[in-house]
Amino acid sequence: METLPPDVTSEILSRLPVESIFECKRVSKTWRALFRHVKAEIKEMGILFSIGLDGGETGSNGRLYYGELRQTDHGMNIDHWRCCYKTPTRIDHPTVNNKRNGTDPMVGSCNGLVCFTAPHSGIQDPVYICNPFTKEYTYLQRITCQGGFIVSGFGYHHSTNEYKVVRIYYSGDQHSMGQVQVYTLGHESEWRNKGEITYSFRESPAILANGALHWLDDKEWNIVAFDLADEEFRLLPSPPCFRLGGKLTSSYQLQVLGGYLSVVHQEPGDRVDIWSFKMNSNYDLNEHEHHSWSWSREFSIAWEGGLEKDSYEPFALTKSNEVLLWYNTTILSCYDPKTATLEKIVNVGTGFKYFQAIPHIKSFVSLEALGELTKIRRYRVRRFSEGD
């Protein structure tokens, strides 16, 4: 194998199942080096679950699972999604969720790397990064503070080939002033201070789209983008649903769907509208390019049964333009715009202290190769059915 040309070796190895490649890397140092540069095309989109159970798990490690949703080149329909959904596999990982009180631990998944918050001093600090399948992980320097809260984001910019973690620390209950810090994986030993901002961001992870992290400013009802290349904040044009207003029960959530930044506008008991931010030229956060961008309403999903207590949380689009969403938090569902029907695929269940699920794709991205000091987690995988 070692005597073959690199391109031939890469082509051969890229055809192996992901799990097989991970196991082969353990054979020897030579094989580990051989597989380090393999860039397999992994077609399966999956869902990464982070779950904390009510009762008996206070102060213990939260649970991490991965379930695959396989797509074909010929599109997808409801039956295909149901058949291709694999029972999630549990993944052991270092304790990062102890003493977590109903908060979502995952900041984001990017090219196979996942950033988690770790609770300390009463806050959730984005300092744990891992690749769940290569078993590499690293801890970043914690913030030194007491009280307040942190808003965070994790992303990658292709032009700089850099992964960055952004945390914004608010010292009090009011969103009056936030201190911005940035960490670049493999390039720095500590966080860099970027100054203060007056934006009032929600206490939820940023949405990564086209090399920028995006938050909602609840105070001014603006969408704020942080460009990961030049590390500058900029305002984006607001979608029409912001200007039209709504009921007191209306809600807005940022998401990335089909590769586009989107706003999910919920009118409980009526409908869920999805607005996408599309452009006529290459995505650029420079102000003078905003004239080439526009918001368009891509979907309008009727609210089933008219019950305002229900919830709809879109998180991905299929190749055939169907909307994958969480209905009432734990029911994986699919909306077909052609038939205007919502089909339930899997009911994950209830009784969670917290339940978070995000799109995730397996990768071979190495934290060590990026320049981070890493550890290898020796764990085994387990199925939901093992009852642990």
- Do 30 and 117 sit in the same domain of this protein? no
Residues 6+ apart with CB under 8 A from 387: none
- Considering 24-38, 210-224, 247-261, 288-302, the range whose residues carry the highest mean pLDDT is 210-224
- Do 115 and 10 sit in the same domain of this protein? no
- Do 94 and 14 sit in the same domain of this protein? no
Is residue 386 domain-resident?
Answer: no
Q: Tell the burial category of 339 from Cβ atoms under 10 Å away from its Cβ (0-12, 13-18, 19+).
A: exposed
Q: pLDDT class for 350, splitting at 50, 70, 90? A: confident
- Do 110 and 178 sit in the same domain of this protein? yes
Weakest-pLDDT range from 70-74, 124-128, 229-233, 290-294? 70-74
Alpha carbon distance 363, 194 (integer Å): 31
The whole domain housing 212 covers: 43-70+85-375
Q: pLDDT class for 381, splitting at 50, 70, 90? A: very low
β-pairing verdict for 207-209 and 192-197: unpaired
CATH of the domain at 316: 2.120.10.80
- State how many domains the chain has: 2
- Do 29 and 154 sit in the same domain of this protein? no
Top pLDDT among 198 and 248 is at: 198
Is residue 309 domain-resident?
Answer: yes
β-pairing verdict for 149-157 and 162-170: antiparallel
- Do 360 and 240 sit in the same domain of this protein? yes
Q: What is the mean pLDDT of residues 355-383?
A: 79
- Do 308 and 367 sit in the same domain of this protein? yes
- Judged against a pLDDT cut of 80, whether residue 95 lies above it is answered with no
pLDDT at 163: 97
Q: What is the mean pLDDT of residues 164-170?
A: 96
- Do 29 and 95 sit in the same domain of this protein? no
Q: Tell the burial category of 287 from Cβ atoms under 10 Å away from its Cβ (0-12, 13-18, 19+).
A: exposed
Is residue 26 domain-resident?
Answer: yes
- Do 362 and 290 sit in the same domain of this protein? yes
Is residue 385 domain-resident?
Answer: no
Classified as helix, coil or strand, 261 is strand
Q: pLDDT class for 73, splitting at 50, 70, 90? A: very low
pLDDT at 20: 66
Residues 6+ apart with CB under 8 A from 222: 199, 216, 235, 236, 238
Across the chain, what does the average pLDDT equal?
80
- Do 367 and 286 sit in the same domain of this protein? yes
Q: pLDDT class for 226, splitting at 50, 70, 90? A: very high
pTM: 0.83
pLDDT at 388: 45
Q: pLDDT class for 353, splitting at 50, 70, 90? A: confident
Is residue 381 domain-resident?
Answer: no
- Do 199 and 223 sit in the same domain of this protein? yes
- Do 9 and 142 sit in the same domain of this protein? no
